[in-house]
Structure 1
């Protein structure tokens, strides 16, 4: 059995990509870059620990970029939304949110959408069936408004990703959890129309998609990655018909079973718990 490797990248705290610092959103035609090769992860040479075996997350390499892929299975997990503390020690971090909580029942936590100066969601946000923010259909700058954007949501173990307009037209009942972000990475099996194959905009990024078997796939890059390459991983490897970009530069993961705790500034959180 292959050892699960968890990579971390030491980065300075950055602003949310909705307000990017030195990392523009590119909206030009496809750049015509040469095809890239998929690089397999090296064969490990040691026996995995019990903690690593129990982790819902594993290391993968796609087109030469290291990623961490975490899987939430509705048969054994439930998903909730939360908000990182906006004040106090280590405010705006997963670590601050986790302080005092029993980590035994937590599979993993990942940042879950873009936020304002108060670390509150700028798009649709539902926590415990309570809507804290309405669906944001406005136009504007930044990645959130690179339409179509979308919503990740669910109730009773049924999880979905839909573009925001489809969500607005078709979803009448309020879900138990929901978070809006943007842009969509994959829409009905196709990459977002604004993406280049491998454009110059590179960042640590994370996103989520739901496969046909109902599992939610959370992915965070462990090195800077373009939107096009990131979207292809969801489309071609994970086979998720829809996938949503959650954020970049601030992207963070807490995996209690391996001890990984990223410390970048975040706001909305997606908390995956054991049932």
Structure 2
């Protein structure tokens, strides 16, 4: 599983928030501070926004960069108004777990424990369907047999039915830049967050549970985390990514 040594950090201002706010149709992004840590949070109304997953172009080549996705959308008269990395991947950018894009499955669901953060069960699935998006715990997703238009598996879960992942420790010293996604019970409210300073899993999960008030949330990744939010003047560049989730207008 790929882990990059490079941190791609935005330029940040004083730890007061929110310090930015902008709206593009059904997407809004803010910088905020919670419990002494700084985050950028982008909220999407799934009933209005077109959330999509991106991995490969029409020639089968991995996009890898926000700019590559933008270039592919431009001839269609479309714009990438928000995006972030969406799940872990191998060195060749293949997804580690379940990956479905526009109804086509590239990688199967992995239900068992394994190495790294992905295998720190319970992990989960971010599922896109018409007019909604949901975070499911992996085994619950498998047992119910939910059909997703697009989906990406990652881990660990951050919040499960309103509770933090049972293995998150309040006194942990393992802090990294982290990003993830949380969803409301009805699937209409989708909130993506990326930390602007290194945080622990317990701190990051608490953001979704205690501040954003979301019953389910899923970790996407750590130091490789990047954000494309042109409405607040941010589009992180750097090494190639694997799966990306974005909003297209």
TM-score of the pair, normalised by structure 2: 0.84
Q: Which residue of 2 aligns with 1:201?
A: 174
**Candidates 162, 170, 174, aligned match of 2:144:** 170
How far apart, CA to CA, are the structure 2 residues paired with 1:211 and 1:236? 13
CA distance in 2, matches of 1:237, 1:92: 32
Contact 2:31 2:38 in 1 (8 A): yes
Local SS of the residue matching 2:224? coil
Asked if 1:184 is matched to 2:160, the reply is no
| Whole-angstrom distance in 2 between the partners of 1:221 and 1:84 | 27
User: Residue 232 of structure 1 aligns to a residue in which SS?
Assistant: helix
User: SS of the residue aligned with 1:57?
Assistant: strand
The Cα offsets for residues 135-182 of structure 1, whole Å up to 9 and x where unpaired, read as 01233210000000000102111211111000000024x311100000
- 1:60 equivalent to 2:29? Answer no
Give 1:11's aligned residue. Answer: none
Cα contact 1:198–1:229 (8 A) shared by 2: no
Q: Distance in 2 between matches of 1:188 and 1:152?
A: 15
Q: Post-superposition shift, 1:94?
A: 2.3
TM-score normalised according to structure 1 size: 0.77
Q: CA deviation at 1:21?
A: 5.9
Any residues of structure 2 matched to 1:123-272 within 5 Å, and which? 123-172=97-146, 174-212=147-185, 214-264=188-238, 265-272=240-247
The residue number in structure 1 matching 2:95 is 121
Unmatched tracts of structure 2, length 5 or more: 7-13
Deviation at 1:259, TM superposition (A): 3.3
SS at match of 1:99: helix
Change (3 A) 1:56 1:134: same
Q: CA deviation at 1:198?
A: 4.3
Say if 2:157 and 2:218, in contact at 8 Å, map to a contact too: yes
Work out which of the residue numbers 58, 65, 68 in structure 2 matches 1:93: 65
Aligned twin of 1:83: 55
User: Residue 121 of structure 1 contacts residue 267 of structure 1 at CA under 8 Å; is this kept in 2?
Assistant: yes
8 Å contact 2:15–2:38 — kept in the other structure?
A: no
Measure, in 2, the Cα distance between the counterparts of 1:165 and 1:20. 29
Q: Report SS of the residue matched to 1:152.
A: strand
CA distance in 2, matches of 1:222, 1:59: 9
Gaps of 5+ in 1: 1-14, 23-38
Structure 1 pair 175/227, CA: closer, same or farther in 2 (3 Å)?
Answer: same
Q: CA RMSD, aligned part only?
A: 2.8
Report the CA distance shift for 1:178/1:155 in structure 2 as closer, same or farther (over 3 A). Answer: same
Query: SS at the partner of 2:231?
Result: coil
Alpha-carbon offset, residue 105 of structure 1? 3.5
Please give the per-residue CA displacement for 1:198-230, whole angstroms capped at 9, x wherever unaligned.
Answer: 411111110001124521000011111110000
**Cα shift at 1:266:** 1.5
Q: Is the 8 A contact 2:129 2:148 kept in 1?
A: yes
Q: CA deviation at 1:40?
A: 7.7
Moved more, 102-111 or 209-218: 102-111
